[in-house]
Structure 1
Amino acid sequence: MSEKNSKAQEMHKVELIIGQILRIGVVVSAIVIALGIILMLVQGTGGYPNGVEPNSFQAIFAGVIALKPYAVMMLGLFLLILTPTLRVVVSIYAFAVEKDHLYVWITTVVLIILIIASIIGYLGH
């Protein structure tokens, strides 16, 4: 009974961590997007000429360092997209703790699909 109780406590902790990851991810991305909007209002421009946008990680991070509003907003959107992916990673750990090997494999396949889809989306821009 003690092992079952400790496993339940561990799962409860993991569920709390997953909830915190989702909340923190959404809040941080919203703050970053809001900062981008504020920068745009202050600067009066998105930081790029019409029709030009940062479309690579390097361009986004360079734009963020240069305080270009559109790049800051793109970073916020990237963080928002990354949040559920991080949740999948934590879920793999949670299922491993439960020793639920079927769900570890299923969730790992979901993570691989997410990564492949992200790469395809990035390369297909």
Structure 2
Amino acid sequence: MDSVGLMIGWTLRIGITMSSLIIIFGLILFYAEGQSGYEADRYPTHIKDIMQGCFALKPYGVILMGLLALMLTPVFRVGISIIAFLIEKDYLYTVITLIVFSILIISFYIGRMA
């Protein structure tokens, strides 16, 4: 396997491992505290609120941060792929990957509006 494939593979492994560890830490906090860290029926829905909850070590905020990291891992992988294809001077795959990256970013934006 070439170095680009290895780099992309490691990006996925690291992203999944980090997000799993964050979620597990949030679950440990949840079981230790016995509550989510938020008032009843009030949970963070925006990235800023999730990050604040995570840094305040609110169990649900930490779990959501892990889930956010898990969702962003493939997006980061596509970004790494763009750079890798540019380094290899493979412009056709660079353009295709840029289109995929644009679709991912647009879908996040549209999903945020809904």
Please indicate, yes or no, whether the TM-score normalized by the shorter chain is above 0.5.
yes
Match of 1:99 among 82, 86, 89: 89
Distance across 2 between alignment mates of 1:88 and 1:57: 21
How big is each residue's C-alpha offset from its partner over 1:18-53, in whole Å with a ceiling of 9 and x where there is no partner? 111100000000000000000000000011122211
Query: 1:74 offset after TM fit, Å?
Result: 0.4
Task: State the identity as a percent.
Answer: 46
Look up the equivalent residue of 1:33 and give its one-letter code.
Answer: I
Match of 2:113 among 103, 109, 123: 123
What are the residue-to-residue correspondences of 1:60-71 with 2, within 5 Å?
Answer: 60-71=50-61
Q: Give secondary structure in 1 for the equivalent of 2:41.
A: coil
Distance across 1 between alignment mates of 2:89 and 2:52: 43
Q: Give secondary structure in 1 for the equivalent of 2:42.
A: coil
Larger radius of gyration: 1
TM-score if structure 1 supplies the norm length?
Answer: 0.85
Look up the equivalent residue of 1:15 and give its one-letter code.
Answer: G
Number of the residue aligned with 1:5:
none
Q: Mean Cα displacement is larger for which, 62-71 or 96-105?
A: 96-105
**Structure 1 segments (4+ residues) deviating >4 Å:** none
Distance across 2 between alignment mates of 1:50 and 1:39: 17
Query: 1:101 offset after TM fit, Å?
Result: 1.5
Aligned residues: 114
Distance across 2 between alignment mates of 1:57 and 1:107: 25
Look up the equivalent residue of 1:42 and give its one-letter code.
Answer: A
The answer for unaligned runs of 5 or more in structure 1 is 1-10
Query: 1:66 offset after TM fit, Å?
Result: 1.5
Number of the residue aligned with 1:3:
none
The answer for unaligned runs of 5 or more in structure 2 is none
Distance across 1 between alignment mates of 2:67 and 2:113: 18
Query: 1:121 offset after TM fit, Å?
Result: 1.3
